Structures are given as structure tokens and as C-alpha cells.
Amino acid sequence: MNYILENARVIDPVQNIDSVGDIAVCDGVLADPAKMPAGTERIDLSGKVVAPGFIDLHVHLRHPGKTQAETIHTGTLAAAAGGFTSIVAMPNTSPAADNPGTIHFVLTHAEREGVVKVLPCGAMTKNLEGKEMSSIGSLKAAGAVALSDDGRCVQDHQLMRHIVHYSRTFDLPILDHCGDKLLEAEGVMHEGEWSVLLGMKGMPSAAEELMIYRDIILSRMTNWKIHIQHVSAKESVAILRQARREGIRVTGEATPHHISLTDVEIKRFDSNYKMNPPLRSEEDRLALLEGLADDTLTVIATDHAPHTATEKMVEFDYAPFGIIGLETAVQICMTELYHKGVLSLPHLISKLTKGPAEVLGLDIGNLKLGNPADITILDPDRETVVDPNQFKSKSRNTPFAGYRAKGCAVGTIVNGKFVHKAF
């Protein structure tokens, strides 16, 4: 448990560090390399990058409930393989995480069989039905770090107002999936040119835009943090940009699939391209890149949503929304954002460390001395090909099979212990 990582490029956006140096680990925490005893093991990381442990704000572990698709054990193995040391578990389990018992269940199993840190998110409403507020104080006491109804955006504005007020009282950020159900109707893909050509029911960008406007207003009214999950539309980026300029406490995230794919892929009729919000136009994708570059969007999150092969192996209209992402996110982001010059490496790392930590209000995602040694090691130039058969996740529902990536996570350390090592 005691060693020194030496000769790496150390990047910590929280402390504005970007230099070649050494990182020491002593009894599971970050220590001063100069104070380590003689003879301490040294691990040479020349050519590698050492960063704070990556944080994923948006993960579906399916446990309790749909363990045929994922469990806490397999989901955390996938997170470790992808370079994540902390993941926020969404509440749409069965039963839903709308009560202290389910939060305790997740934490107990994470302690027993998880290999990375699991931070449970509580449900905003009972059974995620959007009708009655859950017991927010009890969820906080049980260990919830945030509140969300995830894929079921609360449609009742008055109820949402009360939820935001209570979440501020208990210091819990809101993580909101924004979508107006009446506008989305029974849509299965982005409403645009390709939905017309393919004859599929579309989901207009306005459905997302409308609820983001609602959340901005509520954030302004309450002066509290609302984080917009998986922003997908150019209009959404524009209104978030303006709100943030005005000092309103809203933040947003982009997913690797929305920054790298568009709705043209739906012509394959492959349900692994079906997600909510849907893949949108090239214009929307470029707006997301601009939003990441100017810090309108401060977070990259996976929206890891496992489904079994049987669930996805149906007609596109009837397949469930969602793809997995924990084991492909860093590869896609390194390739599409860093190597294509959209973001510098420190800027990209900030979206996976500093940004998520600020949303949660937690002292994680940094390399401060004395903090737990949660570390991600990157090889920025290693070339890989995505092979779902090698995934640690139980599920294989990814559109990125065969994707050629440049850059990946080669080491993941949690509390000083290697939970993934590929160098």
C-alpha cells in the first residue's frame, strides 16, 4: 500500500497542477514523496499521466432489481476498468431508492462487493412517479449525495419547486433529466430530417429545452444547484450558457455518445443507438463541443445504462432506451476531444474530476495531500479497439464495438489499492 508513482505528468485541475513529478501513497492516502521512508517501492510512469480519480455522475447499476443486466459488483468492475474511482448510482432501481432502506442496501453491497466508491443518489419523488415528494431528509441521513428522478422528469412545476427548496435545506444537489413528456409523446429518436426519412416518431429538442428553462427559473428562485443531465441540443447549450453568465446555479453534462454520434446512425435500425435523450443532429453535436470548450458544460458523464441482449434484440421502436458507457468513455473522450484539439488534457480531466466534485460539493477529484489516494492513470497515446467481449460489465449494449481509440485509462487506484492495472 506504500509506493511512489514517479516520472509521470501530474495533472490536478483543482490545484492547477500540470507538471512532471512524483505522487506518493502511504496507507491509502496521498502523501509527500519527500517524506516517504527509504526503500519505498517506486513505480515508473514515464510517458503516462497521473490524474485525480475520475468521477461519473450518472451511472445505472440496476441493483437492486434488474441484476440480470448489471450488479454493483460488475458495474464497479466496469468503472474500474474505465478509469473511474467514484460513481453516482441513479435511483431507478427496483425498489426505487426513494427510502433509506434502499440507500442502505446500495451502500452495504458497495462496501461488500464494490471495487470503486459508490455514491447513492436518492429519488426526488416516491417510486419515481412524479406525484409525491420523497422523504428527502431521511435520504440525506441514509447517505444520499444528490437527488434525481433520472429518466422520469418531474412534470408538476409546483412539486418540483418544493423539491428544490427541500434539497437546498438538506444540501443535496438536484440532477435532472429534462424532458417534457407531452412534447416527447411516444418518440423514439430525434425529431428532424432522419426521423422523417425513416418514418419514426420524433422527440423534438424543444422537449428538453422547455424543462431546462423551467429548472433555470427554479434555480434562480431558490438560489440552489440544479445539474442538467445529458444535455443534447444546441438550444439547451445556449440557454445554459446565458443562465451561467447571469450567475444562476445551473450546471450541465455531456455524454461521450452525444459528442461523437448523430441521428444519422439510426438508419442502421440498431437499438444500440437508441437512447434518451436521443442522438441529435450534427449541428447539435458541434454545439455540445462548443459548450464543453467554453465551460457551459462542466461535466462529462456516461449515463451507463445496461440492458440484456434479449431486451435490446427487438424492433427499434420497442427496444429500451440506453447504452453502457463506463468502459468506453475515456477512450472516446481522449480520441474525440483531446486528440482532435477540442479540449486540452487538463481541461478534459477537469470535466471528469473538478466538475463533478463541484456539483456534489464534495472534496474529491483532487490530489491534495492527506486525501484518499483515488487516482486515474492515463496513457494518452495508446491505441485500442473497443471489444465488448472484453467488458467487465454484464451487458454489451454499446454502439462503439470496433471503435478505434487513441488514449485510455491504464490504471485505477482506490484508497491506494490498484483495482485496474494495464501497464
Active-site annotation, residues: 303
* Burial label, 168 (beta-carbon count in 10 A; 0-12, 13-18, 19+): middle
Q: How far apart are CA 357 and CA 364, in angstroms?
A: 6
Q: How far apart are CA 147 and CA 226, in angstroms?
A: 10
DSSP SS3 for 148 = strand
Taking the alpha carbons of 342, 347, 349, 353 in that order, is the dihedral positive or negative?
Answer: negative
Sequence-distant (≥ 6) Cβ neighbours of residue 274 within 8 angstroms: 188, 189, 266, 316, 319, 320, 321, 322
Query: CA Rg, the chain, in Å?
Result: 20
Smallest CA-to-CA distance from 133 within 124, 142, 141 is with: 124
Q: How far apart are CA 53 and CA 104, in angstroms?
A: 24
Residue-level length of the chain:
423
* Burial label, 347 (beta-carbon count in 10 A; 0-12, 13-18, 19+): middle
Q: What is the 3-state secondary structure (H, E, C) of 78-118?
A: HHHHHCEEEEEECCCCCCCCCCHHHHHHHHHHHHHHCCCEE
Which cell goes with 216? 433555470
* Cβ atoms of 234 and 297 closer than 8 Å: no
* Cβ atoms of 140 and 170 closer than 8 Å: yes
The Cβ of residue 381 has, within 10 Å, a number of other Cβ atoms equal to: 12
Q: How far apart are CA 2 and CA 197, in angstroms?
A: 60
